[in-house]
Amino acid sequence: MRTRPLKVALLGCGVVGSEVARIMTTHAADLAARIGAPVELAGVAVRRPDKVREGIPAELITTDATALVKRGDIDVVVELIGGIEPARSLITTAFEHGASVVSANKALLAQDGAGLHAIAEEQNKDLYYEAAVAGAIPLIRPLRESLAGDKVNRVLGIVNGTTNFILDKMDSTGAGYQEALDEASALGYAEADPTADVEGFDAAAKAAILAGIAFHTRVGLDDVYREGMTEVTAADFASAKGMGCTIKLLAICERAADGGSVTARVHPAMIPLAHPLASVRGAYNAVFVESDAAGQLMFYGPGAGGAPTASAVLGDLVAVCRNRISGATGPGASAYTQLPVSPMGEVVTRYHISLDVADKPGVLAQVATVFAEHGVSIDTVRQQGKDGEASLVVVTHHASDASLNGTVEALRSLDTVRGVASIMRVEGE
């Protein structure tokens, strides 16, 4: 074993960073044995230097993160501050001063992964971020390394624990969205401002990262179609149950059937109870990967939390340290396919549509004609009538999002259609 330690700078010592520091200390001997050299915490950058940080020597704490990454003797910078700036500048400076980087920063990687990979490559350094997509769940390494000889066609995942907790509550208790969100907040599963989770921004960032890696192309944040789950109602769950389904907020990355383009999207969707993702409960995450040779794979586990996320960060740290010792770098960005990202209108899926209609003869035929005129074929229709009003639940065969939107627009203009109560995509069949 090499006796000179590898020096690690920790940027951020919050929920994840504090766990990384703890595990680095408690597992120091094992980490050294696995890496082939001891790993030394050389500095910890924070915002509030006076906060008590158990297990971290006070002399390691600094508020000058830039000076820490510029030291020149740092082997690996572990960025756990989050957000775009100063994280981006600190990572760039770290590369320029000879360090490799491990990060868990999905927002930054989704926004500027390509740029950061380019600098890493230029400087011949590693950029690893297993923790950025699904916490503890190994996903980036399996996609980038284990499946490097296969062809991935689809990645379908529950990548946000907060929203899965809320939807699971709604499903199991019949609660409405607000009630389930309040419970998630009380139990610490939802942030004070839950927008990033419930509006799908967090999942969209993860979808952008996953799609790029899975299909060896570049997928930006703006390429990801995004719909949150705040409009999902108890009535939607009742409809889903009637179809043998539940509702999940899914991140879906797909290669087109002709292989010439890809799509990435985040939205709530019905999935059959028999699908493995339907049984992912509480705040857990799971990602279902379909590839040519391997077939169907599922990755499951805790998608957030200090210790689980630190597990993924530590895995990256070990890999990067091993690379430092061997003088190599691991796999970088692979975007050689340069596949274009198609707009949402070209996505093809099935739909569950609830309409409030007048309860009189001929309405069903009128509605069916509108679907036919837009090339959307109906699979099943269920009608319930009461006091001159009726609800009509239509489930379609596969159709493009553009055709479905055209259908809904035309339905809204019919006198006999009082309103479109809900539109939900049906996935996983």
Per-residue contact track with ligand NAP, 3 to 22, x per CB under 6 A?
--------xxxxxxx-----
Q: In this structure, are residues 46 and 63 in contact, taking their beta carbons and an 8 Å threshold?
A: yes
Could you give the CA distance from residue 371 to residue 359 in angstroms, rounded to a whole number?
19
CB of 173: closest distance to ligand NAP in angstroms?
A: 25
Residue closer to ligand NAP (CB basis): 14 or 330: 14
Q: Is 408 in the site for ligand NAP (CB under 6 A)?
A: no
Q: Is 80 in the site for ligand NAP (CB under 6 A)?
A: yes
Could you give the CA distance from residue 211 to residue 309 in angstroms, rounded to a whole number?
21
Could you give the CA distance from residue 329 to residue 308 in angstroms, rounded to a whole number?
25
CB of 201: closest distance to ligand NAP in angstroms?
A: 12
Residue 339 one-letter amino acid:
L
Backbone φ and ψ for 96, nearest 5 degrees, come out as -65, -20
- Binds ligand NAP (CB under 6 A): choice among 82, 113, 268, 301: 82
**Under rule CB under 6 A, how many of the chain's residues touch ligand NAP?**
25
Stretch that binds ligand NAP, among 100-108, 265-273, 370-378, 418-426 (CB under 6 A): 100-108
- Binds ligand NAP (CB under 6 A): choice among 21, 45, 289, 319: 45
Q: Is 385 in the site for ligand NAP (CB under 6 A)?
A: no
Return the residue nearest ligand NAP (CB atom).
14
CB of 47: closest distance to ligand NAP in angstroms?
A: 4
> Which has the closest alpha carbon to 180: 272, 283, 53, 256?
283
Residue closer to ligand NAP (CB basis): 309 or 349: 309
Q: Is 196 in the site for ligand NAP (CB under 6 A)?
A: no
Q: Is 113 in the site for ligand NAP (CB under 6 A)?
A: no
- DSSP code, position 256: -
Q: In this structure, are residues 422 and 238 in contact, taking their beta carbons and an 8 Å threshold?
A: no
> Which has the closest alpha carbon to 204: 135, 252, 140?
252
Residue 155 one-letter amino acid:
V
Q: Is 46 in the site for ligand NAP (CB under 6 A)?
A: yes
Both tokens assigned to 273: 């109870």
Residues with active-site annotation = 206
> Which has the closest alpha carbon to 167: 284, 226, 227, 249?
249
Q: Which of residues 284-343 bind ligand NAP (CB under 6 A)?
A: 304-305, 309
Q: In this structure, are residues 412 and 393 in contact, taking their beta carbons and an 8 Å threshold?
A: no
Footprint of ligand NAP (CB under 6 A): 11-17, 45-48, 51, 65, 80-82, 86, 104-106, 131, 135, 304-305, 309
